[in-house]
Structure 1
Amino acid sequence: MTESFDEAFLFLHPAADPAADRIVHEHGGARTLLAWAPDAPAAARLAAELADRGVRLIELYRGFGLPEAALVIEAVGGRAPVGVASSALGATRPDARSWATVYTDDEAAADGVHVVREHRDGSRTTVVGAPEATMPAVVAALVRSGVEVVEICGGTPLTTAARVAAATGGDAVVGLVSWPFESIEDAAAFKAAFEARTR
C-alpha cells in the first residue's frame, strides 16, 4: 500500500482480505480508508502500516473486542489515536448480519451518503455520513431496512448518539466510539483540524 489517508475505519470480518476488501472514501476534504481484516493480527499489521504512512486517526468497528483492539493499539504505538466502538465493551449482537457505521457529515444530503460493502457470506456493512441534525432519522431508516448494529463515529457528540439510539426504538444495538485516555489529546487535535478545513 503506497497511498496515504487522513483516517481509517477498520472492521473485522472472517473472510476478509485487507488488500482487496477496502474502499477509499473522500468526504469533507479528507481521505478515509474503510478496510476489512479477517482477524486482529491482520488488522494490527494494517494499522501499523497506516501509522507508518502518517494516518492521523484510526477507529475500530464491527467485531473488535478489547483483546483485538489492544493488539491494534500496541501495533500503532502511539503514532495515531485509536478509538474503539463500544462493541468492544459488549454492546453488540454476535449473530448480526447487517451493521452500520455512521459519522457526522454536515455537507451531506439530509438522507446521508451511503457506502455499502456486501460480504461474501451475505452479510453487509453500511457506512453513512449524515448531517448531525438528521442522523436519528437516517439511522431509523437503516434499522427499518434491516440494520441490527449501529456504531457511531467518535467525532459525534454523545447527546446526538443518545438521540440516534432513541430513534431506533430498541430494534438495534447502538454504540459510540470511545477514546482511551492515551488517545484523547490526539483525537481532539484531529477533530479541530478537520473542522478548520471544513469551515
Structure 2
Amino acid sequence: MHAVDTMFVFLAAQADPAGHRVDRPGPAGGTAYVWVPDAAAAARVVAEQARVGAGLVELYRGFDLRAAEPVLRAADGRVPVGVSGWGPAGTTGPDAPRDSVMIVGAGERELELGPFTTDIGGLRTTVVPVGDEAGVERAAARAAADGADLIELCGGTELVTAARAQRAAGGVPVVLVGWPFESITGAAAYRAAFEARAN
C-alpha cells in the first residue's frame, strides 16, 4: 500500500475485504477513498495506512461508535481518526441510506476532476469536492434535490458551515465528522500542516 496524506473509509457489506479504493489528488497530498465490508477490514486497512504514514483518517457511511472502536485501536495513536457516526446504530442495517453524498474540501486538481460515484451492492456513494464554504451549502442543496438520503461532511468543515448545509438540505440528514479526544491533537497538527501548505 502506498502512502497517502488522507484516507476516507466507508462500510459496504459487499466490498472486497482488501478494500475498493479510489485515489485522488487532495489539497494536502494524496487522498484515498476506501470501501470495506466491515470494521475488521477497516481496522486492517487503517493500520497499514498508519504504518506507511497517513496524516488523517475519517470514517463515514456505516460507522457507528462500535465499528469505529477497532479502527481507533488499530491506528494506535499513529494517525488521528474522526467518525461521522450517523444514527445510533450506524448505517449498515436494512434501513441504511442507499444513496449518500460525502462533501469534501478540495484543492484545484481535485476540483478539476469533479465528483465521482461508487456503487457497491446497491449502496451508492457520491463524493463531491468543493472549494469553499459556499460550495458546501450548494452541494448539500444539490444532493438533496438529486435524492440523496444521507449527506456527510468532511471533518474540516466548520460547524457554522455545516448548519447552513443542513438548512440547505431540507429534511435530508446531514452529519459532520467529529474527533474523539484522543485524536484532537493529531487532527490539530494535520490542520496546521494543511494550512501551511495552502499558504
Counterpart amino acid of 2:37? P
Give the Å deviation of 1:18. Answer: 4.7
Give the Å deviation of 1:77. Answer: 0.5
* Change beyond 3 A, Cα 1:45–1:138: same
Q: Corresponding residue for 1:129? A: 129
Distance 1:71 1:20 in 2: 16
* Change beyond 3 A, Cα 1:29–1:155: closer
SS in 2 for 1:99: strand
TM-score (norm 2): 0.90
Give the Å deviation of 1:112. Answer: 9.1
Structure 2 residue runs of 5 or longer lacking an equivalent are none
Q: Corresponding residue for 2:81? A: 82
Deviations 1:16-54 (A, max 9, x none): 015351100112241011001100011101111111111
Q: Corresponding residue for 1:104? A: 105
CA contact (8 A) 2:12 2:123 kept: no
Root mean square deviation, CA, Å: 2.2
1:87-166 aligned within 5 A: 87=86, 89=88, 94-105=95-106, 107=108, 113-119=114-120, 121-130=121-130, 131-166=132-167
Q: Corresponding residue for 1:178? A: 178
Which shifted more, 105-114 or 70-79? 105-114
Q: Corresponding residue for 1:71? A: 70
Give the Å deviation of 1:89. Answer: 4.8
Distance 1:71 1:111 in 2: 35
Give the Å deviation of 1:134. Answer: 2.2
Structure 1 residue runs of 5 or longer lacking an equivalent are none
Distance 1:88 1:27 in 2: 28
Counterpart amino acid of 1:143? A
Distance 2:36 2:49 in 1: 13
1:41-52 aligned within 5 A: 41-52=40-51
Give the Å deviation of 1:83. Answer: 0.2
Counterpart amino acid of 2:4? F
Q: How many aligned residue pairs are there? A: 196
Give the Å deviation of 1:60. Answer: 0.2
Counterpart amino acid of 1:179? W
Which shifted more, 107-116 or 45-54? 107-116
Give the Å deviation of 1:129. Answer: 1.4
Counterpart amino acid of 2:10? F
Percentage of identical aligned residues: 43
